[in-house]
Amino acid sequence: MLNKDTVIGFIGTGVMGKSMVQHLLRQGYRVLVYNRTKAKTGDLLEAGAVWEDTPAAVASKATVTITMVGFPADVEEIYLNEEGIINNCQPGSYLIDMTTSSPALAVKIYEKAKAKGVFALDAPVSGGDVGARNATLTIMVGGDEEAFHDVEPILRILGNNVILQGGAGAGHHTKMCNQIAIASNMMGVCEAIAYAKKAGLDPSRVLQSIGTGAAGSWSLNNLAPRMMAEDFAPGFYVKHFIKDMKIALDAAKEMGIPMPGLELAKKLYDELASSGGNDSGTQALYKLYCQE
């Protein structure tokens, strides 16, 4: 039975992971951390987190190991190689991958973990840096129902909308639905703000009108103000969004579903990345609409 004495491992303390670890520490959990760049964990260590030198070392000591890394290749490496998490974690422990990754990879991890008596869940999130800081993330979970209920109290420290979507891989499929919806919406947000500006309107006043109507969306109300302020710092990296769109397009192709809106969005984000925007926030797409 999981309780406040449960040791939690957290691998990947980047833009979002850092805030998530802070919430766990504030709730009194002992948290072991690993990040590729140890210097980026300094304030977490000062707050009480414990550094481990490898992902395997984290998993060997934790009852619950959470991962929040960059790309599916990173997930595969830290979970499935000989020196990885599954080969070193405790029997009966819980593995929660919160990276946005491949549904097929999630199934592979689940099956290998199950063969070793370990519970694996895929639990990607939505809400960006703001949601991570405010513990208001949406968490989409795939895996066994019993394992989900065991770790649900921990997940609810990190988010306020935590839903089991189905078996292994269902969390990632749900996140792809989220990214597909965002991709076309981001184009619409950028075009609306660019149109307002070109028409001689005050975009901030326009936002006051359209943000509360049928056009309202999280992207419009949270990212349009950043666009107008030319704040392109990453809450969610362009390079990671491109990765997500590729996963969704590959999965859609396997299912025989046309995705013209998603294809166009990826083409535009690829253009942004090629001009140096890889490490910007997704709202930096607005730059393409501001070119004279």
Q: Where are the domains of the chain?
A: 7-167, 173-289
pTM for the model stands at 0.91
Looking at residue 223, the DSSP 8-state letter turns out to be: H
The predicted structure's pLDDT at residue 1 = 64
Average pLDDT, the chain: 95
Task: List the Cα angle 168/77/88 in 5-degree steps.
Answer: 80
CATH homologous superfamily, domain 7-167: NAD(P)-binding Rossmann-like Domain (3.40.50.720)
Residue 15 pLDDT grade (very low, low, confident, very high; cuts 50, 70, 90)? confident
| Paired tokens of 199 | 């028409």
Compute the average pLDDT of residues 212-231.
95
pLDDT tens track for 105-147? 999 999 999 999 999 999 999 988 889 999 999 999 999 999 9
* Cα 237 to Cα 279: distance, rounded to the nearest angstrom: 6
**Cα-Cα end-to-end distance for the chain:** 61
* Cα 60 to Cα 44: distance, rounded to the nearest angstrom: 20
Compute the average pLDDT of residues 166-182.
97
pLDDT tens track for 270-280? 999 999 999 99
* Cα 199 to Cα 193: distance, rounded to the nearest angstrom: 10
Give the dihedral of Cα atoms 136, 138, 142, 143; nearest 10 deg: 20
Largest Cα–Cα distance in the chain?
64
The predicted structure's pLDDT at residue 292 = 57
Question: Which residues are designated catalytic?
Answer: 175
Residue 169 pLDDT grade (very low, low, confident, very high; cuts 50, 70, 90)? very high
CA distances to 15, 45, 57, 85 from 33, rounded to whole Å, are 14, 9, 10, 13
The predicted structure's pLDDT at residue 283 = 97
pLDDT tens track for 29-45? 999 999 999 999 999 99
The predicted structure's pLDDT at residue 138 = 97
Packing angle between helix 170-198 and helix 260-272, nearest 10 degrees? 70
Give the bridge partners for 161, in sequence order: 138
CATH homologous superfamily, domain 173-289: N-(1-d-carboxylethyl)-l-norvaline Dehydrogenase; domain 2 (1.10.1040.10)
Distinct helix (H) and strand (E) counts, the chain: 13, 9
Q: Which amino acid is at 204?
A: S
The predicted structure's pLDDT at residue 186 = 97
CB 275 within 8 A of CB 234: no
Q: At a CB cut-off of 8 Å and minimum separation 6, what does 72 contact?
A: 99, 101, 102, 105, 243, 247
Please classify residue 86 by burial: count the beta carbons closer than 10 Å to its beta carbon, then call 0-12 exposed, 13-18 middle and 19+ buried. Answer: buried
